[in-house]
A and B are shown apart, each in its own frame.
Chain A
């Protein structure tokens, strides 16, 4: 589904990604974790070309991301941001319908119904006509997930989707993500929610200093990490 080979990204003199290889299979849930500054967010942002890469290739469904029209590529990759980034000037419903209507994916008269269906799926059908400022953080993030799903992407990328939330709202967003995973969505999640990783992930990738140091199943990752950096990281988050 997504293949990285030799991906490098530099910001000025700083090498943010130092040769990333790896593959995310269809319907697989990969959790990217690691200390801050390790390149996790940068890596998923390269997949939909929010960041350009300097070396290597990234293929999504077999097509090199640089060979495809940028907008078409992005339309088939759902992206969920840490800060939600809902459009504050339109209602939750219109946040969901905007792109599929403009891009001709949904006929205008069916848009409301289809958006309501998606909002119901994230448990927010009754709040469809509210503006983002009238929603809690957790609700906003769920709208943002519905908005990304509206383009019916085969892949969803999550960039620390619960890091900006109050603790009591983390659960509702994770529940939606678990539902997606159950439905067979291919997902790459940058997250510090180790409970989510343990429960939902098929693979955990541990990153540090722009490299993937370890790739393991959650059980292996949490019980028998092979890399010393992983052991340090796990000890640090357990102590917290």
Chain B
């Protein structure tokens, strides 16, 4: 394993960068981060649409969620890769199309997780806010979402971890991310699939584990602030921002 790492370590880590395109773990991390950053606000939007006071918006969001949940992610990726350029006439890189597919996919699942928390918030919270004269958007921004997003942090992290692992499907449309790199190395070595794929597993595990720990840290910080023992001013600011 050590000699695999010493021979192929850099390619696993960053692909052919800086002499070629970015790849390996670095590309997996970048794809995950971008998809996550886009999927999160999108999912909040989906959740709000699913609980919208306007029936047409609710129905539209439901159709979207049912559709995305009803097809495999791989199909969405193929679709984005082969069909979208055909229809729109604009060719984009495989990486971008995969990110779009991931965002569309996660938007539905993450959106449902957030919707669950939205509907679990006691009705009195919205009533109290609206009774003060605050409108729908102010109420959502300052009263509802800060509570809901914290309460569904565990299920959101769950979805984020799934998203990180789902980037591996990008290897099937030729994106040179972690799984693709591992496949290439395996093809060169031919005799050591167990070791190569153990390395691949370890790499995904580390990424996902780090995400879990980060969320645990955030949860305990927020809990500490809201139970009142004082944290640092910066953390208070973060907690109030979310």
Contacts and interface: CB of A to CB of B under 8 A. Distances in A.
Nearest to B227: A133
A81 B127 contact: yes
B134 A99 contact: yes
Nearest to B230: A129
B7 interface: no
Contacts of B128: 79, 81, 85-87, 144
B133 interface: yes
A75 interface: yes
Nearest to B147: A89
Contact of B132 (A50, A83, A88, A98): A98
A75 B133 contact: yes
Place the interface of chain A in its size category. 20 to 34
A79 B147 CA distance: 22
Given A90-B240, A98-B142, A74 B130 contact: yes
A164 to B, nearest CB: 11
A89 B146 contact: yes
Interface string B127-156: 111111111001000110011001000000
A87 B133 contact: no
Contacts of B130: 50, 70-71, 74
A144 B127 CA distance: 13
A50 B131 contact: yes
Given A131-B228, A133-B226, A87 B143 contact: yes
Given A88-B147, A98-B142, A131-B227, A50 B134 contact: no
B133 A74 contact: yes
B124 A148 contact: no
A99 B147 contact: no
Nearest to B151: A89
B125 interface: yes
Contacts of A90: 146, 240
A1 B133 CA distance: 19
A26 B240 CA distance: 39
Question: Shortest 7 CB-CB distances between A and B: which pairs?
Answer: A75-B133, A85-B128, A99-B132, A85-B124, A79-B131, A74-B133, A134-B228
A212 to B, nearest CB: 23
26 contacts: A70-B130, A74-B131, A74-B132, A74-B133, A75-B132, A81-B124, A81-B127, A81-B128, A83-B122, A85-B122, A85-B124, A86-B128, A87-B129, A89-B146, A90-B146, A90-B240, A98-B132, A98-B143, A99-B129, A102-B134, A102-B142, A133-B226, A134-B227, A134-B228, A147-B132, A148-B132
B133 A72 contact: yes
Interface in A66-83: 70-77, 79, 81, 83
A99 B228 CA distance: 22
B127 A71 contact: no
Nearest to B126: A85
Interface string B225-237: 0111000000000
A147 B128 CA distance: 10
A3 interface: no
Contacts of B125: 85, 87
A137 to B, nearest CB: 14
A148 B217 CA distance: 36
A151 to B, nearest CB: 6
Contact of B124 (A48, A83, A131): A83
Nearest to A72: B133
B171 to A, nearest CB: 42
A86 B134 CA distance: 14
A169 to B, nearest CB: 19
A28 B120 CA distance: 38
Given A81-B127, A85-B124, A87-B143, 10 more contacts: A48-B131, A71-B134, A79-B128, A87-B125, A88-B226, A89-B146, A89-B240, A130-B228, A133-B228, A151-B133
